[in-house]
Every structure is written in structure tokens, then in C-alpha cells.
Amino acid sequence: MSHYAMVIDTRLCIGCGDCVVACKSENRTPTGLNRDWVVEQTRGRYPDLTTEFRSERCNHCSHATCVLCCPTGASHHWQGSNIVLVDADRCTGCKACIAACPYDARYITPEGYIDKCTFCHHRVAKGLDPACVATCPTHCMHFGDLDQASSRVAELLGKRDYKTLLSGTGNRPNVYYLT
């Protein structure tokens, strides 16, 4: 069982959206639907300002409320890991999982089933980084198994300050932002 995590360095992220384009083409997400998106946050008043860019997506929550509420088991954990996938052939399109995701990470495909970021499990299975991670021009994204102490993600979380999004929901998200 693996504990996959994405670690994104906000000090380096420039908000360029390459991760979004790379995901779009890698995963052929339908027109207008994206598995990841970029948020810009600016604080302060001119000229005392800071900005933070964050590439966001499904957090592959350890306590995945979307999986818990799914009536058919279509939303499930991949191979016992924390990677959350949707099996289109079991999905009724009841949308409970959309309501259950505090991150609004899911969307409805034109065919009527639910889809979202898969952490590119098809690449992970081949030992590759997810498409977004592999393309990011600032090298600010990292992917790996937190249970392996030697992994880059574990190392980074060990030595840098980080945060997760909406930690108050109790979902135990697995996309970490180095600050």
C-alpha cells in the first residue's frame, strides 16, 4: 500500500498553467473540463505585496468523503492506495461525490459519469511522474510515496514548512504546498 502525495513549492510556482495544459492533453479531458487549475492569491497593498500561486486538483484525500458517500463503489481507492479513481462503468451520475468534495475537484463528463484527477495512475503504474509534474517548467512539483522515507516528497516535507488546503474539513488531503 502506498501513500502517494504531490508536493508543490509555492516559492517557485509562477502560475503559468502548463500543468493544466499538460493534463488536458495527456488525459484528453473533454473541452471545457479540467482536472487541475491554478489559483493566484495576492495579499497586501501596493507596494507591500506578496503573491502565491497554487496549482490545485483532487487531493486524493486519506479520508475521502467522495468515496465514502458513493452509493455504488464507482469512486474507489486504486490498489488500496490513497489514489481515488472513478470507475465510469459503475457511476450512476448521482453527483453525491461532487457534493461531498470540499475542493470541488470533480466534474461531469458529457457522457454523464464523473471524472477528476487520477494522479495519472496510468503513469504512476509505469514509474513515471504525473503529466503535470513532468512538464512544470519551474520544477516546483514533486510526486512520490510518503511512506518511503527516502522519497523526494517525504524529504521535502521533512525539511520545509508546508500547508494543505482546507485542512479543517478533516479530509486529510495529500497535495502539499511548500511555503
Partner 1 sequence: MIEELLTTARYHPKVDPSLGIWSWEIPVYLFFGGLTAGMMLLAAWALLTRKEGQAPFAAHRLALWAPIMLSIGMTTLFLDLEHKLYVWRFYTSLQPTSPMSWGAWILVVIYPISILQLLSTLRQGYPKLAGYLTPLPLVPAILDFSERHRLSIAGWTIPFAAALGIYTGILLSGFSARPFWNSAILGPLFLVSGLSAAAAITVLAARDHRERRLFGDIDIGLLSLELLLILLLVLGLANGAQPQLEALDRILHGEYAELFWGWLVGIGILLPLILEIMGRRREIPLHFIAPLLVLAGGLLLRWLTVELGQLSSWNDYPLPFDPTLLQKLQ
Partner 2 sequence: MKRRDFIKLPGLAALGVAGGGLLSGCQSRPLPGSGEVTVTPTVCEICFWKCAGWVHAENGEPWKITGNAEDLHSGGRLCTRGSGGLGAYADRDRLRQPMLRVEEKGRQRFKPVSWEEALSFIAERMEQIGERHGRDRLALLSHGSGGGQFKRLLNAFGSHIFAQPSYAQCRGPRQVAFALTYGEDVGSPDRTDMANARCIALIGSHIGENLHNGQVQTLSEAIARDATLITVDPRFSVAAGKSRYWLPIGPGTDIALLLAWMHVLINEDLYDHRFVEQHTLGFEQLREHVQSFNPEWAWLETGLEPERIRATAHELGRHAPASLVHPGRHTTWYGDDTQRERAIAIVNALLGNWGQQGGFYRPEKVELPAYPAPKPAKPASDWKAAIQADHPLAPKGISHKVIEACIGDQAQVKGLFVYATNLPMTIPGIADKLNRAADDLELMVVVDTLPMEVTGYADVILPECSYLERHDDLRNSPEREPSLALRQPAFEPLHQSKPAWWMAKQLAERLGLGEYFPWQDYTEVLDWQLQQVGSSLEEMERIGVKTFPRKTGLYFSADDPPSFRTASGKVELYSQLLADYGYDPLPRYTPPQQPGEGYYRMLYGRAPAHTFGRTTNNPVLFELMPENHLWLHPITAADHGLKSGDYARMKNRVGVRGNPIRVRVTERVSPRDLFLAHGFGHKAGGLRLTDGVGGDDGEMMDNIKIDPITGSTGMRATFVTLEKA
For residue 82, what are the β-bridge partners? none
- The interface partner of residue 58, options being partner 1, partner 2, ligand SF4, none and the CB cut-off 5 to 8 Å by kind, is ligand SF4
Binding mask 18-47 for partner 2 (x = CB under 8 A): x-xxx-xxxxx--xx---------x-xxxx
Grid cell digits, residue 100: 461531498
Binding letters toward ligand SF4, positions 111-150, x by CB under 6 A: ---x-xxxxx---------xxx---x-x-xx---------
The C-alpha cell that represents 128 in the structure block: 513515471
Where helices occur in the chain by DSSP H, the ranges are 18-27, 65-69, 96-100, 121-124, 131-135, 152-159
Which run of H or of E encompasses 52?
strand 48-57
Of residues 62-121, which lie at the interface with partner 2 (CB under 8 A)?
A: 87-89, 111-113
Which whole-number Å values give the CA distances from 162 to 9, 141, 176, in the listed order? Answer: 9, 13, 6
DSSP conformation class of 174: -
Kind of pairing between the strands at 162-163 and 36-45: unpaired
Closest CA to 146 of 131, 134, 166, 164: 164
The span of 128-136, 142-150, 151-159, 166-174 binding partner 2 (CB under 8 A) equals 128-136
**3: contact with ligand SF4 by CB under 6 A:** no
Least distance between ligand SF4 and beta carbon 102 (Å): 7
Query: What is the spatial distance between Cα 179 and Cα 174, in angstroms, rounded to a whole number?
Result: 15
Query: Could you say which of partner 2, partner 1, ligand SF4, none residue 24 binds, taking C-beta under 5 to 8 angstroms by partner kind?
Result: partner 2
Q: Using CB under 6 A as the criterion, which residues of the chain lie in contact with ligand SF4 when the complex forms?
A: 8, 13-19, 23, 26-27, 35-36, 38, 53, 55, 57-61, 64-66, 70-72, 74-75, 84, 86, 91-97, 101, 103, 105-106, 114, 116-120, 130-132, 136, 138, 140-141, 171
